[in-house]
Amino acid sequence: MAKVKTTFFCQSCGAQYAKWQGQCNSCKAWNTIVEEVIQAPEKSDWKTPTTGGAKKRTSKPLLINEIDASQEARLDTFDQEFNRVLGGGIVPGSLTLLGGEPGIGKSTLLLQVALKLPYKTLYVSGEESQKQIKMRAERINPNNSNCYILTETKTQNIFKQIEDLQPDIVIVDSIQTLHSDYIESSPGSISQIKECTTELIKYAKESSTPVVLIGHITKDGHIAGPKILEHMVDTVLQFEGDRNHVFRILRANKNRFGSTNELGIYEMQGSGLREVSNPSEILISKKDEELSGNAVAATLEGMRPLMIEVQALVSTAVYGTPQRSATGFNAKRLNMLLAVLEKRAGFRLGAKDVFLNITGGITVDDPAIDLAVVAAILSSNEDEALAKDYCFAAEVGLSGEIRPVQRVEQRILEAEKLGFSTIFVSKYNKISLKPKAIKIQLISKIEDLVDLIV
């Protein structure tokens, strides 16, 4: 029998050490290094199943001019939002990792995708029983005849079932529950996650069968396990949103087969996740009367134009130090915009509390939202409502200039489609578009905006 070998791993970043120490040299975290038992497998015991007629990849070197660059056929998931984020569908032989908060809907999303697929699908669950999955499937799509459910955590048993079933796609929920006989540490440990992922990658690449994994995340929002896990897989998806809101956002943090700028939006319902094809109408609240402190921004999430509502509240500070609070927006950028308003436009906001909120529970990083934030703050400070058919798309500089933003014509068309009458943009934007139903208001500095809306 082979000698039992132990080593020490950092549970935060996966760094390996020969002996225990208090602090990890790589990620500087304290008390995260634990001892794990590892056992190197015998070479003759290594066996990962492949589909019988699968074409293995050649190891022969080829000239770059001889390589066939024709686009590989993708598997349609019949979910437009999921396809959009992946870049058009699932690539055969790829490994996709989906992470997200507990209870956000990761299992529901992938079970819903599995039930829509017309291909033979194997859904492997290490967290729920077959009856629990059946109860959820009854609410989503009870008439699927191509989805097989397997409750198993041992990779050797999973591969045996894969060999018998020969599925077209494999979904694993979750990678942290799997364990391999080749490693003697417990499921969820660094070495087990690396070993199980390696076996799944070997299977996916040799059989050209796509594998989708669900991954848990830590309290810091990172996928649990070693960082190398995200390097090993082809695509890393993040499923996010506030559990108190019904909207969920799917975005790609890494994608070897497409753009990472795309975004999918879902609405959580009792019957599963509903695809939201036009998120702008949902992110803008419907009001019977005009209220101060509300402004609409034309932003972009990846390649997708969105109209979002910015809400601001300016009130007299009760305590000596004014509060600055932002939800869904960078708080440091809010402080910068307040300083610009005070210096360039003469508004004394230093003794006032300022609260900012992006509706819908989403987070926006697009600098084009700056002008809408300023407009909402001015509206709340003066307690005068902006016209509900106004929208904004421009960046604000430190000297108070209104800076141009990219793809402004796409933003203008989205605003026109949703019925806005006026859009405020930088006069330095090169606009060749001549829309009929919307007025393009060009401004060059913050004082121009104050004169037009206050």
Q: What is the pLDDT of residue 51?
A: 43
- CA-atom Rg of the chain in angstroms: 26
What is the per-residue pLDDT for 42?
52
Whole-structure pTM value: 0.74
Report whether 317 contacts 352 (CB < 8 A).
yes
Q: What single DSSP character describes residue 285?
A: P
pLDDT at 56: 47
pLDDT at site 196 = 92
pLDDT at 288: 66
User: C-alpha 300: how far from its chain's center?
Assistant: 15
What is the model's pLDDT at position 338?
A: 93
Annotated binding site for ATP: 100-107
CATH topology of 77-277 equal to that of 282-453?
Answer: no
Domain limits, the chain: 1-39, 77-277, 282-453
Residue numbers of the chain with a pLDDT score lower than 50: 1, 43-46, 49-56
Please provide residue 153's backbone torsions phi and psi, each rounded to the nearest 5 degrees.
-120, -15
* CA 262 – CA 305 distance, rounded (Å): 11
Instruction: Tell me phi and psi for residue 428, to 5 degrees.
Output: -90, -5
| Domain 77-277 CATH assignment equals 3.40.50.300 | yes
- Cα 106 to chain centroid, rounded: 12
CB 412 within 8 A of CB 423: yes
Q: What is the end-to-end Cα distance of the chain in Å, rounded?
A: 82
Distance CA 174, CA 123 (A): 10
pLDDT, residue 4, reads 62
Q: Which residues are annotated as a binding site?
A: 100-107
Please state, as a whole number, how many other Cβ atoms lie within 10 Å of the Cβ of residue 13: 19
How big is the CA angle at 152 (ends 151 and 158), to the nearest 5 degrees?
115
Quote the tokens at residue 288: 């019977």
Instruction: Identify whether the C-beta of residue 267 lies closer than 8 Å to the C-beta of residue 282.
Output: yes
Per DSSP bridges, beta strands 395-396 and 121-125 are unpaired
Residue 71: its pLDDT value, please?
A: 63
pLDDT reported for residue 50:
46
> Across 39-164, where does the E strand assignment appear?
95-100, 121-125, 147-151
Residue 215 pLDDT: 92
Name the CATH code of domain 282-453 (choices 3.30.230.10, 1.10.10.1100, 2.40.30.110, 3.40.190.10).
Answer: 3.30.230.10
Q: State yes or no: cis peptide before 129, omega within 30 of 0.
A: no
Question: Cα–Cα distances in Å, from 77 out to 36, 61, 231, 271, 351?
Answer: 39, 34, 24, 18, 54
